[in-house]
Structure 1
Amino acid sequence: MDRNPEPSQMFSFLKPAPRLSAAEAVARVRAGDLTLIDVRDGGEIAATGRAAGALHVPLAALRMKCDPASPECLPGLSTEKAVALYCASGARSAMAARALTAMGYREVHNIGGLHHWQAAGGAVTR
């Protein structure tokens, strides 16, 4: 194991998650090819609803609910399946995407905010 990574690799965990267009996310969720996660707080979801089919995992509970090593990891999650995250603006989902990547998820995307999902034709449940 190389304990002295190349400088370009040292801070690779800080790279932003690749942006997936909301339209592509809508299509992939419909096809069952993508797990969608809402990282907003419960009050935000109560006020605006959430994307149809999205799991609700508040950012504060992400490690407990999404880490494969956690006994409370949600059963529908897999590090092998693509995941997309959203919040209100894209900032918290960017933090969550970095955390999931560090946990070993292979394909993680930030689609921004719920409004991006809606603008792409994604359904919202209340």
Structure 2
Amino acid sequence: MAIKAAFEMVKEATAEIETISPAEAIRRKDDEDFLLVDIRDPRELEREGRIPGAYHAPRGMLEFWIDPASPYYKPIFGEKKKFVFFCAAAGRSAISVKTLQDMGMENIAQLGEGFSGWRKAGGPVEGGRNG
């Protein structure tokens, strides 16, 4: 049995989802109808810091937090916002956004280049040990 390469899955997902540039996300970060969603592991947040105001939704719970029929549903995901998911470098977020799109979630995108792109573009970061 051949395993499909993770980076091939990322490439395919990226072709089917919207990607927002770090510069655009920085411009829109204070817009009340725009929410950055950090799907990184809690250890990554502790080590690298976080984007102020971003909502943390760990990747492992994402589908369950999005599904209104799930006992783990988070009402924030029922709000009328543009949800922009990100991880460290836009791999996990690409696959996540594609999965959520397949579940029927609308008005979603990923942050191009992820948290590293945000940092590189000069976006604000709080906390972290590597700051």
Both structures adopt the same fold (TM-score exceeding 0.5): yes
Partner of 1:60: 60
Change (3 A) 1:74 1:53: same
Structure 2: give runs of 5+ residues left out of the alignment: 1-12
The equivalent of 1:4 in structure 2 is none
Contact kept? 2:14, 2:94, Cα under 8 Å: no
Higher mean C-alpha displacement, 39-48 vs 22-31: 22-31
TM-score normalised by length of structure 2: 0.76
Q: Which residue of 1 aligns with 2:108?
A: 108
Give 1:44 shift. 0.8
Structure-2 change in CA distance of 1:122 and 1:69 (3 Å): farther
The 1:71–1:93 alpha-carbon spacing in structure 2 relative to 1, beyond 3 Å, is same
Unaligned runs of 5+ in 1: 1-12
Indicate the residue corresponding to 1:122 in structure 2. 123
- The CA RMSD measured in Å over matched residues stands at 2.2
Query: Identity, % of aligned pairs?
Result: 34
3-state SS of paired residue (1:30): coil
The superposition leaves residues 38-90 of structure 1 with CA deviations (integer Å, 9 ceiling, x where unpaired) of: 11111111100111111111111111222233232222222642110111110
- Aligned residues between the structures: 115
